[in-house]
Amino acid sequence: ATPMSIMVGVGRGAQMGVLIKNAEALERMEKVDTVVVDKTGTLTEGKPAVVAVEPATGHDARELLRLAAAVENASEHPLARAIVDKAQADMVNRGEDSTRLPEVADFDAPAGKGVLGTVDGRKVLVGTAGFLTSQNIDPSVLAETADRLRRTGATAVLVAVDGTPAGVIGIADQVKTTTPAALAALRTEGIKVIMLTGDNEVTAQAVATELGIDRVEAEVLPDHKADVVNRLRAEGCVVAFAGDGVNDAPALAAADVGLAMGTGTDVAMESAGVTLLRGDLNGIAHARQLSHAVMSNVR
Ligand code: ADP
Ligand code: MG
């Protein structure tokens, strides 16, 4: 494409909330046949909130939330924020001082798994079933509760205290109001849509079914998101990847076109050729139309 037609395309994109950083991204967009989308913060709002606190037999809901929140207070993860916010809101409702979450020691946060630490002398683990298993705690007494929450599309966060499963916290994140129309536009264009997430298979399937997405790659650890993109490219697909998080940066860079959410992290935007302002996925179809207009001007 000529520099002039690219400039016009970039300008038209900006008017529609599609910020195009490099000409290659604009040129390649019309050839994209596969769109891989991160779930949390991309298809959904990325503002998760606690919807259920379910203690295991012999455990107390308030204590479960208090211990989990104390450990999550040291984490930046959106799920951690949801747990801390809920614990503090409950404390305010009871007339307690919401700043008084207990201190955490020996904190650790293995990426894509959860957090652990010592609170009031007790060892607390918060995260996936696999995380508990990896710490030699059998999570099976929590499986039924966790799956019930997951089938509603919520993320089940498991909690263990002193080596024993203590309960499950259900956390839900709303689908963006713009997402269904954006996916419909891609489907009309015959584009394959694949959901990619670190979240549990059952939760991912529930959200995918609600959105009519038939291909899901779940329980993908942060380091492996780019591998999925590379595998699809090796199969001959022209891949756009849409994501918002720090974890998404390698996949954004590996894709033929990286699409970052303007509502996401700076790292994601730096790694992407295109930024969708307000995180509106309708920008993907808009970018393809622009690309087609710019490239057919040349031909
Ligand atoms: P996503 O790909 O959906 O953005 P991540 O890769 O960050 O998710 O995390 C994958 C999974 O690991 C989450 O769905 C959650 O079950 C678990 N997890 C990660 N961090 C935390 C945390 N701080 N507290 C509880 N669970 C966590
Ligand atoms: Mg995300």
The closest-lying atom of ligand 1 relative to the alpha carbon of residue 72 is 23
pLDDT in tens, 121-151: 999 999 999 999 999 999 999 999 999 999 9
pLDDT band, very low/low/confident/very high, at 100 (cuts 50, 70, 90): confident
Report whether residue 222 contacts ligand 1, using a CB cutoff of 6 Å: yes
**What is the 110 CA–ligand 2 centroid distance (Å)?**
16
Residues 64-73 have pLDDT tens digits of 999 999 999 9
Q: Ligand 2 centroid vs 224 CA: distance in angstroms?
A: 14
Average pLDDT score over residue span 238-264 = 95
Ligand nearest to the CA of 265: 2
pLDDT value of residue 139? 98
Kindly state if the Cβ of 198 falls inside 6 Å of ligand 1: yes
- Establish whether residue 155 lines the binding site of ligand 1, counting it when its CB lies within 6 angstroms of any ligand atom: yes
- For residues 292 and 28, give the distance between their C-alpha atoms in angstroms, rounded to a whole number: 9
Distance 149 CA to ligand 2 centre (A): 20
Nearest-atom number in ligand 1 for the CA of 197 is 2
CATH class of the domain whose range is 49-172: alpha beta
Share of the chain above pLDDT 90, in %: 89
pLDDT at residue 1 above 90?
Answer: no
Assess whether pLDDT exceeds 70 at residue 39.
yes
Distance of CA 248 to the CA centre of its chain: 9
Amino acid 168: pLDDT: 98
Tell me, what's the pLDDT at 298? 64
CATH for 3-45+174-298 is 3.40.50.1000
| Delimiting residues of CATH 3.40.50.1000 domain(s) in the chain | 3-45+174-298
Q: Ligand 2 centre and the CA of 12: distance in Å?
A: 27
Average pLDDT over residues 81-102: 92
pTM, two decimal places: 0.89
The confidence score (pLDDT) of residue 112 equals: 86
DSSP readout, 48-89?
A: -EEEEEEEPTT--HHHHHHHHHHHHTT--SHHHHHHHHHHHH
Note the residue count of the chain. 299
Mean pLDDT for the chain overall: 95
Closest ligand to Cα 169 = 1
Note the pLDDT of residue 299: 62
Average pLDDT of the residues in 12-28: 94
Torsion region of 167: left, alpha or beta (phi above 0 gives left; psi -120 to 50 gives alpha) = left
Is the ipTM above a cut-off of 0.90? yes
Q: Which CB contacts under 8 angstroms, 24+ apart, belong to 12-15?
A: 12/290, 12/293, 13/274, 13/286, 13/287, 13/290
CB-ligand 1 contact for 157 (6 Å cutoff): yes
- Ligand 1 atom at shortest distance from the alpha carbon of 77: 23
Q: Tell me the pLDDT band of 92, cut-offs 50, 70 and 90.
A: very high
Domain with CATH 3.40.1110.10 in the chain: 49-172
Q: Specify the pLDDT at position 167.
A: 98
Catalytic annotation on 280?
Answer: no
